Amino acid sequence: MTTKINFNSKFDKFHEHWSPKIIAEMNDYQFKLVKIKNEFIWHQHEHTDEVFIVIEGKIGIEFENETIEINEGEMIVIPKGKQHRPFAKQEAKIMLIEPRGVVNTGNIESEITAPSDQWI
Amino acid sequence: MTTKINFNSKFDKFHEHWSPKIIAEMNDYQFKLVKIKNEFIWHQHEHTDEVFIVIEGKIGIEFENETIEINEGEMIVIPKGKQHRPFAKQEAKIMLIEPRGVVNTGNIESEITAPSDQWI
């Protein structure tokens, strides 16, 4: 069955921060919605690039040498292996796109490491 | 260099319909913006799923047994090998996500087949 997915309806289904929820798969890639607020941890993904699309609000991503602000209607590709730390001063709603099985904290095991298989 | 991408700024760079423009790559996948209006042709992609995200406006996708309307803030995954025909009664702005090299008309060679390597 082919069904469309409404981002706002999916965002209404959860409230926690930094816990990606899978909404779709395309081949072996997954689309995940996340609500974020405050600072995440420094980490990197050794084996894959990662895409952030801001659906609502504004986020920042710190890299070693710069910080990039990303607003609603904007996206960024984080290159494989590049250290980064996302943050949002106020709650923001974002979509991540990455291969199936990628863990949110990348190379770091932390208390905020979330399961990588939560569908909504 | 890691830079963010603003969808509206990119959409301002072209006007033609049904001619996907690449704005980013993640691993071997590409993000393409397209403006569409009126009906496309029936086609399918034999080797890959394909994602449509509606950035502005409203589109429809005809399948053999149903038509699905997709609005701003919604997405759909077209399964590999599934016949479909996109359309938009008024101009709509969409993003496609698919592997590098996918051709817009899939299995059909047509006068509206567009180059698959146009970056903006």
Which residue range(s) make up the domain with B75?
27-99
How many independent structural domains does chain A possess?
Answer: 1
Q: What is the CA radius of gyration of chain B?
A: 13
| A72 lies in some domain | yes
| B2 lies in some domain | no
Report the percent of chain B where pLDDT is more than 90.
Answer: 88
Q: Which of A26, A75, A79 sits opposite B51 (nearest CB)?
A: A26
Are B7 and A77 in contact (CB < 8 Å)? no
Reported as a single tens digit per residue, the pLDDT across B1-37 is 689 999 999 999 999 999 999 999 999 999 999 999 9
| A89 lies in some domain | yes
Are B48 and A27 in contact (CB < 8 Å)? yes
Continuous segment of H or E residues that includes residue A23: strand A21-26
10-residue stretch averages of pLDDT, chain A, 120 residues long:
93 97 97 97 95 98 97 98 97 97 89 90
**Closest CA in chain B for residue A29:** B29
**Closest CA in chain B for residue A48:** B27
The minimum CA-CA distance between A52 and chain B, rounded to whole Å, is 9
Are B5 and A76 in contact (CB < 8 Å)? yes
Distance CA B51, CA B54 (A): 10
| B106 lies in some domain | no
| A1 lies in some domain | no
ipTM: 0.95
| B3 lies in some domain | no
Euclidean distance between the first and the last CA atom of chain A, given in angstroms as a whole number = 17
CATH of the domain at A46: 2.60.120.10
| B44 lies in some domain | yes
The whole-chain average pLDDT of chain B stands at 95
Which DSSP category does B67 fall into?
E
Q: Is the pTM of this model over 0.90?
A: yes
| B62 lies in some domain | yes
The minimum CA-CA distance between B77 and chain A, rounded to whole Å, is 6
Are B74 and A6 in contact (CB < 8 Å)? yes
Residue A67 CB neighbours (<10 A): 11
Are B73 and A7 in contact (CB < 8 Å)? yes
